[in-house]
């Protein structure tokens, strides 16, 4: 299970870091903390209560992107 979490966090870390570098996400993001928060949100049971669009919009706004 831990290997799976690490793999997912590595992918998320690349996405977030690339977004910061490209200017699509806020420049002052703490990438590691952001990755843990996003991963926790997406794997948590409460995420199933919301639509994909709602979750995407929420996460993108939190990253400083224009959703």
pLDDT for residue 19: 96
* One-character DSSP codes across 16-65: HHHHHHHTSS-TT--HHHHHHHHHHHHHSGGGGGS-HHHHHHHHHHHTT-
pLDDT for residue 1: 65
Tokens found for residue 60? 């993108």
Q: Which of 35, 9, 31 is closest to 21 using CA atoms?
A: 31
pLDDT for residue 67: 60
Give, for all 67 residues of the chain, the pLDDT tens digit: 678 788 999 999 999 999 999 999 999 999 999 999 999 888 877 778 889 899 899 999 999 997 6
3-state SS assignment for residue 9: helix
Residue-number span of the structural domain to which 21 is assigned? 2-62
Any domain includes 22:
yes
pLDDT for residue 48: 84
Any domain includes 43:
yes
Number of domains in the chain: 1
pTM of the model: 0.83
């Amino acid at each position: 299970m831990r290997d799976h979490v690490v793999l997912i966090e590595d992918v998320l870390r690349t996405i977030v870091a690339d977004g910061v570098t490209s200017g699509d996400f806020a420049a002052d993001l703490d990438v590691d903390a952001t990755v843990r928060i996003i991963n926790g949100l997406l794997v948590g049971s409460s995420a199933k209560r919301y639509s994909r669009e709602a979750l995407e919009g929420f996460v993108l706004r939190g990253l400083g992107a224009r959703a």
